Amino acid sequence: MFFEGAHRLREAGVTIPGLLAGDPERVVVEAYPGMLARSIIGRRSDKQDTRSKQTTLQRQARKDLLKEIVDGAAKALYGFNVSVSMDLTTEPGGDQLDALLCAIQAASAWRLRTNCFGIPEGTDPVEGWIAGTTIKKLHR
Residue at 140 is within a domain: no
- Per-chain mean pLDDT for the chain: 89
The reported pLDDT for the residue numbered 139 is 46
Residue 9 makes CB contacts below 8 A (sequence gap 6+) with 16, 20, 28
Residue at 20 is within a domain: yes
Residue at 135 is within a domain: no
What is the torsional sign of CA 103, 107, 109, 110? positive
SS3 25: strand
Question: What's the predicted TM-score (pTM) here?
Answer: 0.87
The reported pLDDT for the residue numbered 117 is 92
Residue 23, beta-bridge partner list:
14
The reported pLDDT for the residue numbered 82 is 96
Q: How many domains does the chain have?
A: 1
Looking only at Cα atoms, what is the longest distance across the chain? 47
Residue at 34 is within a domain: yes
The reported pLDDT for the residue numbered 134 is 63
Express each pLDDT in 52-108 by its tens digit.
888 899 999 999 999 999 999 999 989 999 999 999 999 898 899 999 999 999 999
Structural domain including 12 reads 2-118
SS3 14: strand
Residue 38, beta-bridge partner list:
none
